[in-house]
Structure 1
């Protein structure tokens, strides 16, 4: 039992309501209710998606103007003097037509050409979602959270690690739909290993469209796969709408160091031709495929990202694109990627400054961890990363829920806790609220010395809004915790996930659209060879 300030016993929020002589349920519905009804209402999940985060805190600026210019000059020198390999005949022809210096498969880009090209990338836009209430402002001060992508393994509702399936993917899309701070589904949160490789992109896209009405990501593993997913988006939104409105996001990884390959370049062409945003993301493993130092790593990564971003504008001037990266450092003891390290935070701060220097929105990765289970290591790594990307000012915050085991595994328990952590980060990054300051100061005068604020009208009106109450953290006394079974956070999280799935309501698709999508899947599965060699790169 907890002791509240006026000497009565009971939990503080319950005492607060009792002091006012009215339950929250009564306040909302006009009906009275008992203690159990009030507790159920207080702990009921709220599923309404938060709008895009409008950041209200300063960004962390670790470089001065001279250092920004130094990184810029170093990156431009790489592009001019070393060059970037574009291992794709179509891209090489595109670059020749654009006036680049092409020597074999190596493209040397003049800094003037690069600056001219990236200047046409929009600094922000509005994503259209299937549900118009979930459209999202993006870029500038606006940020969105997106769950993890790409895990072949899942640690499921039974907390056992195994190969992931299509039903697991659908479950995670449903949890995304139910998580207020997650603004989008990923493309494949997990790899559905029970679906043929060459058909996965179709089932993945359909799952995002059917089980969630938020915006979504699309597969970009090959140009043809990207075209398939974009065709499905066109069935949902209309081709004409897509020509003017971002509705889906792709991702293309540069093979660091300094190589863009045929499959990723094809995906860039597919998305840019349709005027849809694509992340141009160097896959940087600091110390392995970049120099073993933070500032030179950023200079190389910056050059790689600029090359990809420039190519989007060669394909279609003014098409939306996002400065991306996947950033990790490598353990010199094991060779394994690490997360949550100090240099990753510093490099995020630097990359944020460079993206703002060029006037383009940027992506970072969130909630990364190397732990094999949902433990203290996973929590520390994830919390370190979350705080860094928020203070760095990232716009597209990917891998925001579920990431474990270096991305090989999605933990359902971690997924729902990460989603709640994103909501906490969201609240922090909004900044300090001042709208009730004068009313709260009046409350100080009303209560005076030695009193308490639990029953004051200002507290009644603001207690749910004033201080975020984590859904899955336990703050009860040890006696109460023991009486309730000594359940640790993994157990609480899995029970919460089951509860969310029980409460899930499918956002119904228009029947004609659904039939058109199913017909498209059937046709493409018939046309695509079951073991298409081009699709084995997942």
Structure 2
């Protein structure tokens, strides 16, 4: 039996009602998305060339700072001009290096049914990460714990449209920072059999993640199979630091993909111009993508970014703005121009609660991301307050929104067109289709029926308790968690992972957190 399939064995206690409900629910992960929507391309060929030429000019004449002696020596050996910490990259060298990045590849999960393809038209939804606070099952904003992280990994596991558990969806404050990456990685592995992300908070932490992946999958398997993803953020403008570059080497040497992600705050660390911002971001991403191939030729890598625009009134980052959508369209075109997979951020919200602002911001970005043709669609569930908290209510609603976007991106289904068309003369003028055999056979799949939106009459809504979306979402999350069943993990591998964690926690003093560079 697939670990996602609801089991029907009898249970002790008063759980028969839940068992009956579960027998009608399907938590199986949707296959990786093949996006059939027309791509929105806001630049013509001349504009693409203009961005490319501007980015190459930046790389050749302004240069990029690599604050890392190993990377500087690597670049010297690769033939780049290095002056101090600044690396000047010839466009021919950049083009040659990025040409060896795979245009698509397959991620392997511990449950083979959850393997997914990435690149070209193939996309995945990944939940948010990095929130220092959460809004919990009571909608209370507070510091998260390891149990809260496990809760989000369980919700990720039970959300069909989410293809990953990510990693530290929320920061577990009840565990030392220096050892936290071990418990975060184990939680991702233990509570789901989907793919997961790996921590890059230091080079050694990244090595620990690689070692844990080797325990789970086998060292030789990693050499030829992507199983996790690291994220390496650049310091815009035009700086890559030792922490990120060291983590990048840890992943690339083991043939594991990294997101090469400039951290863009439009108007603050980029010019106050959409095209110029994209030109700078493109140069930053290309410099990191090229370095992945200096580390290991042919290693999978993903053109990344984090996009926000900055309010010129307050300096605060904004979400859901038109410029963010435009930049996503443009970056998608540039990634396709270089024939590399690309990452974006999805349902971002700046609102402080799960209110209409959060919904509008998230929906605007989700629509743009789908029409931009993004591949690795990160921060797809839970993000609010500019990433300062992950909301349980928003998490489950965002996950359903991803399922709706998935359905839209599949395109029209033509398999029963003739049968449906034949119903028209049978019903005739003035009739209705509710009782027609074709409707009876197809009503559950013909149109997406959201569980978390209320479309009943006002009278029925009042009878049901006048519940708004946050209350309905939190009740839904509790039901999901009540139905959760942990996917079996091989006992020997589980013990080996726990032994590794115990050894590394003995080797890493908790107080070391004060001295590590994060």
Give the TM interval when normalised to the shorter protein: over 0.9
Structure 1 segments unaligned to the other structure (5+ residues): 1-28, 30-36
Which aligned pairs between 1:78-227 and structure 2 lie closer than 5 A?
A: 78-227=58-207
Which aligned pairs between 1:293-332 and structure 2 lie closer than 5 A?
A: 293-332=273-312
Match of 2:11 in 1: none
Q: CA deviation at 1:45?
A: 3.7
Q: CA deviation at 1:43?
A: 10
Q: Which residue among 6, 21, 32 is the counterpart of 1:52? A: 32
Distance 2:366 2:393 in 1: 17
Structure 2 segments unaligned to the other structure (5+ residues): 1-7, 9-16
CA deviations over 1:421-449 (Å, ceiling 9, x no partner): 00001111111111211111111121111
Q: Which residue among 375, 378, 385 is the counterpart of 1:395? A: 375
Q: Which residue among 464, 483, 496 is the counterpart of 1:503? A: 483
Q: Which residue among 217, 225, 243 is the counterpart of 1:237? A: 217
State yes or no: 1:444 paired with 2:424. Answer: yes
Match of 2:412 in 1: 432
Q: CA deviation at 1:484?
A: 1.0
* Secondary structure in 1 matching 2:196: strand
Distance 2:328 2:136 in 1: 31
State yes or no: 1:274 paired with 2:254. Answer: yes
8 Å Cα contact 1:222/1:535 also seen in 2: no
Q: CA deviation at 1:197?
A: 0.3
8 Å Cα contact 1:197/1:535 also seen in 2: no
8 Å Cα contact 2:22/2:483 also seen in 1: no
CA deviations over 1:208-244 (Å, ceiling 9, x no partner): 0000000000001111000001100110000101100
Match of 1:456 in 2: 436
Which aligned pairs between 1:483-494 and structure 2 lie closer than 5 A?
A: 483-494=463-474
Distance 1:535 1:459 in 2: 65
State yes or no: 1:65 paired with 2:45. Answer: yes
CA deviations over 1:86-122 (Å, ceiling 9, x no partner): 0000000000000000000000000000000000000
8 Å Cα contact 2:353/2:384 also seen in 1: yes
Q: CA deviation at 1:531?
A: 2.7
Match of 2:56 in 1: 76
Distance 1:469 1:276 in 2: 38
Q: CA deviation at 1:404?
A: 0.6
Figure out how many residues of one structure are paired with residues of the other and give that number: 503
Structure 1 stretches of 4+ with a deviation exceeding 3 A read: 40-45, 533-538
8 Å Cα contact 2:350/2:358 also seen in 1: yes
Which TM-score applies when normalising by structure 2?
A: 0.95
Which TM-score applies when normalising by structure 1?
A: 0.92
Match of 2:396 in 1: 416
118-127 or 448-457, larger mean C-alpha shift: 448-457
* Secondary structure in 2 matching 1:435: coil
8 Å Cα contact 2:344/2:374 also seen in 1: yes
Distance 1:408-1:537 versus aligned 2 partners, 3 A rule: farther
CA deviations over 1:462-492 (Å, ceiling 9, x no partner): 2111110011000001111101110111000
Distance 1:409-1:44 versus aligned 2 partners, 3 A rule: farther
Q: Which residue among 252, 257, 263 is the counterpart of 2:243? A: 263
Q: CA deviation at 1:186?
A: 1.0
Distance 1:378 1:289 in 2: 25
Distance 1:231-1:308 versus aligned 2 partners, 3 A rule: same
* Secondary structure in 2 matching 1:154: strand
Q: CA deviation at 1:136?
A: 0.5
State yes or no: 1:404 paired with 2:380. Answer: no
Q: CA deviation at 1:534?
A: 7.9
8 Å Cα contact 1:197/1:536 also seen in 2: no
Distance 1:310 1:480 in 2: 59
8 Å Cα contact 1:323/1:361 also seen in 2: yes
Q: CA deviation at 1:533?
A: 5.2
State yes or no: 1:285 paired with 2:265. Answer: yes
Q: CA deviation at 1:46?
A: 2.3
514-523 or 425-434, larger mean C-alpha shift: 425-434
Distance 1:135-1:371 versus aligned 2 partners, 3 A rule: same
8 Å Cα contact 2:177/2:513 also seen in 1: no
Q: CA deviation at 1:123?
A: 0.5
